[in-house]
Chains A and B, each alone.
Chain A
């Protein structure tokens, strides 16, 4: 019979958190060296769902990689669609009709809402609150139904095309979206903020936990809500405007507390900002075609191109290297959570297991995106 826990002389032990663990939301594994319930050293181990998308991109032509984009960040798939389209359009010099740009913004922001709602639900689940999960899924379901109507899928969208989108939106979609925003606006303060954000247990568990300083965030290349929770005013939509984002009036929520609560509040505020963007886009929606005439086989000029978009998790970059042939010579995906997670080891040191899991939840990890 073996000894249950092998204690070394310094009385630390190794705890494998994952790859199957309820709090890692996927197949992330963290090798923890523990001293009792305190973490001495945390070392994330990645690659359990690595699929080598970058090689797949090199194998097919430009359009053939489109469906892959949705399978990395499955929670904000349309942003990956968008990022890849921007990179290819930049390389091939394709102009996108204005209506298509508006539709892109509307759908991407709706997808961002689903992503934040799901994060909220899963985060509360990490903290042991089960009910919010179903409230958030209730709302998320409405968006998925709307998106399903026009994109044809509910999770792994392949809706964008080079030079536009696949399908025009209809009146029913517009009406449904307005109705949904009205509904979420009425539910946010009561169901989300009164019940959960103001909860004393939640505040006690998040305030001052997982301190990620501004300098640390920069040195680890954090972007998105993680950086904004550390007082960094950085949002690709504002700093490096793409698509028609400059035409909308929205704020970038920034909190200076650097703790998990700040990251939580950033995302909650972003839900409201996304709703503002969607409303403005629907109000201003121009008429016109939704797809430019684009040759079936693209052969962009040789050179390398970078395109960044803001996903729900941060700055997603596509580096596209072309050699004048019909397939990408090289496609590099800069996934935001890969960088965001890299600070985990340093920050989690000395934390309690429960706090480290709360911190991990506040990073909003999507494992397939990290592993690609």
Chain B
């Protein structure tokens, strides 16, 4: 299993419904395989009496699998989009802000064209859990930054994780917070390097990292009460 796939599986913990869907899909795939095996077995045995019973059972399983498939359809698309390079899906990735609020989930991205491998979108209170997963998987924090989507009245907080392995896997964890009350829990307890990055993001965007013990300006003057990277900032 490649590190990208491994990391994606690890990150699925964050999204129980996605994980459940994937589990169902996997179960469905397994069931299909079972059916196939059963069919083969049936073909081998050629016992008509048992064949009827088998057919009934197969129909039941297939129905289950199909219903499961339908429920995952949307997410499956998302998951496989990057791998299949479906142009529509790619467009959708590239313009998240035009699509309205993005759904929570994990998207695999193309490293050659985007520079990242896994794109995770989660709720603000999930970033600590995400950081914990990344820490356990041996990732280091590359950067924390924000993006001011002033038109949508939202602030995006982006965490970049990377690892030292020879195989490339860069993970982006992003979340939205409101522009008026930008608050997000700190991940400093998990990743000590987040200390300065969070202070910097607080400087530039005014995002309050709750639980950060020392959220004072790091790059701006110590009495700075402005946040220059907000789009409505005027010096």
Interface residues of A (CB under 8 A from B): 46-47, 50, 52, 54-55, 58, 87, 90, 93, 218-222, 227, 232-234, 238-240, 301-308, 315, 317, 319, 321, 323, 329-330, 332, 334, 338-339, 342-343, 346, 371-372
Contacts and interface: CB of A to CB of B under 8 A. Distances in A.
A326 to B, nearest CB: 16
A218 B138 contact: yes
Given A50-B219, A303-B94, A338-B196, A319 B138 contact: no
A219 B228 contact: no
Given A303-B114, A315-B142, A332-B145, A220 B168 contact: no
B52 interface: no
B113 interface: yes
Contacts of B142: 221, 315, 317, 334, 339
Contact of B114 (A306, A346, A372): A306
Contacts of B95: 302-303
B177 interface: no
Given A227-B164, A317-B160, 16 more contacts: A46-B196, A55-B228, A218-B138, A219-B135, A219-B192, A221-B140, A221-B142, A221-B193, A232-B164, A239-B165, A302-B98, A305-B114, A323-B97, A332-B143, A334-B160, A342-B193
Contact of B162 (A46, A58, A93, A315): A315
B219 A372 contact: yes
Contacts of A239: 164-166, 168
B158 interface: yes
Of B140, B191, B228, most A-chain CB atoms within 10 Å: B140
Interface of B: 93-98, 113-116, 135, 138, 140-143, 145, 147-148, 158, 160, 162, 164-166, 168, 170, 172, 191-193, 195-196, 200, 204, 217-221, 228-229
A52 to B, nearest CB: 6
B143 A342 contact: no
B160 A47 contact: no
A323 B141 CA distance: 26
A219 B96 CA distance: 31
Contacts of A305: 113-115
A88 to B, nearest CB: 12
Nearest to B143: A334
Contacts of B147: 304, 321, 329-330
A222 B140 CA distance: 8
15 contacts: A50-B219, A90-B113, A219-B191, A219-B192, A219-B193, A220-B193, A232-B164, A233-B164, A301-B94, A302-B95, A315-B142, A319-B143, A334-B142, A338-B196, A372-B219
Given A54-B229, A221-B140, A319-B145, A339 B94 contact: no
B168 A46 contact: no
B3 to A, nearest CB: 11
Contact of A240 (B96, B168, B204, B228): B168
A307 B115 contact: yes
